[in-house]
Amino acid sequence: MSTRSIKKVHPAIAAHMPGLSTWRAMPTQHVEWLDPFLFLNHHGPDIFRPGNRGLPFGPHPHRGFETLTYILEGELVHEDTTGYKSRITEGGVQWMTAGSGLLHSETSSEEFLREGGAIEIIQLWLNLPSKLKMTPPAYSGMQSEDLVHLNPVDGVKLHLISGEIYGSQGPYSSITNLTMTWLEMDSESQVHLPAPGNHQVLFYVVRGKVNVNGAEVEMRNIVEFNIEDGDIDVSASEDALILYGHGEPFNEPIAAHGPFVMNTYDEINQAVADYQAGKMGVWKE
């Protein structure tokens, strides 16, 4: 089986927030996006002291895309104007379809504010094609036990969220047919990851050091592969944690402004007007 060639390895850049270490893998001066993957922020790892202020992501709007949030350590409390509310803990994920628009917050529980603890969270923005930009908002919070956990080879744990891999199907049904996972690899382990030739691959090294298709890749780096036939071979020289997924590019124009991602700037202007008019919901304290 052939392996897919690498176009470039891109380092995440420091984009720290008050009280929260943050590394941005996309967009940066190195890579704008990897269609259909738009944005990747890596928060932490950090230790919050007792009596802290918690995560800083208060109510804000989104339209035109989805968010997939991995809670690698700690917890995340989600609330939005469609009525969803959940507290997802370590090993779980949140998948939100912003679609036509909503307001949401991602904060910490009263227990975490009081007692503190470790935090490491990654958020991806997943584009929607023009035909789905205005789809109704939706949310799914999945704890670790809700995911499908696989051991494809010795020393490798793969956590499947959506799509199909190794004959298993993930619990979440992606409206754009994305396959999304994350992997834990012991040092000296090896794994073969399949990917359709017409799909864009997302491969981000959260922790550790790996060799992927002949390239040495360290933590906080995202790998840009060419879209071509060929799979992904990974060997870990240290204990490693990797985000791995793939999806078909939309090859559509992207107009992005703050929390809105559409196809034209007229649509962005309409999103701003709709938000200001309360059409994405009104936050109730």
Give the tens place of pLDDT for each residue, 105-147: 999 999 999 999 999 999 999 999 999 999 999 999 999 999 9
Binding-site residue numbers are: 60, 62, 104, 106
pLDDT score for 181? 98
- If phi > 0 it is left, if psi is from -120 to 50 it is alpha, else beta; for residue 101 that is left
pLDDT score for 284? 81
In a domain, 142, yes or no: yes
pLDDT score for 141? 97
Q: Give the mean model confidence (pLDDT) for residues 251-261.
A: 97
Burial of 69 (0-12, 13-18, 19+ CB in 10 A): buried
| Tens of pLDDT, residues 83-93 | 999 999 999 99
Binding-site residue numbers for Fe cation are: 60, 62, 104, 106
Q: Which domain holds residue 62?
A: 6-276
Q: Euclidean distance between the first and final Cα of the chain, in Å?
A: 55
In a domain, 104, yes or no: yes
Q: Residue 75, Cα to own-chain centre: how many angstroms?
A: 15
Is residue 38 within 8 Å of residue 121, measured between CB atoms? no
Strand partners, 77: 87, 107
What gap in Å lies between CA 64 and CA 254, rounded to an integer? 10
Report the percent of the chain where pLDDT is more than 90: 97
- Give me the count of residues in the chain: 285
In a domain, 190, yes or no: yes
Report the domain count for the chain.
1
Q: Give the mean model confidence (pLDDT) for residues 204-224.
A: 98
| Tens of pLDDT, residues 147-190 | 999 999 999 999 999 999 999 999 999 999 999 999 999 999 99
Q: Give the mean model confidence (pLDDT) for residues 94-107.
A: 97
Structure token digits, residue 139: 């949310």
Question: Is omega for the bond preceding 59 within 30 degrees of 0, making it cis?
Answer: no
Q: Which CATH number fits the domain that encloses residue 233? A: 2.60.120.10
Is residue 1 predicted with pLDDT exceeding 80? no
Closest by Cα among 23, 17, 253, 10 to 122: 23
Is residue 186 within 8 Å of residue 236, measured between CB atoms? yes
Q: Give the mean model confidence (pLDDT) for residues 248-271.
A: 97
| Tens of pLDDT, residues 63-80 | 999 999 999 999 999 999
pTM: 0.96
Closest by Cα among 77, 60, 63 to 283: 60
What gap in Å lies between CA 120 and CA 19, rounded to an integer? 13
In a domain, 270, yes or no: yes
pLDDT score for 198? 97
In a domain, 110, yes or no: yes
In a domain, 283, yes or no: no
pLDDT score for 285? 67
Is residue 7 within 8 Å of residue 226, measured between CB atoms? yes
- Mean residue pLDDT of the chain comes to 97
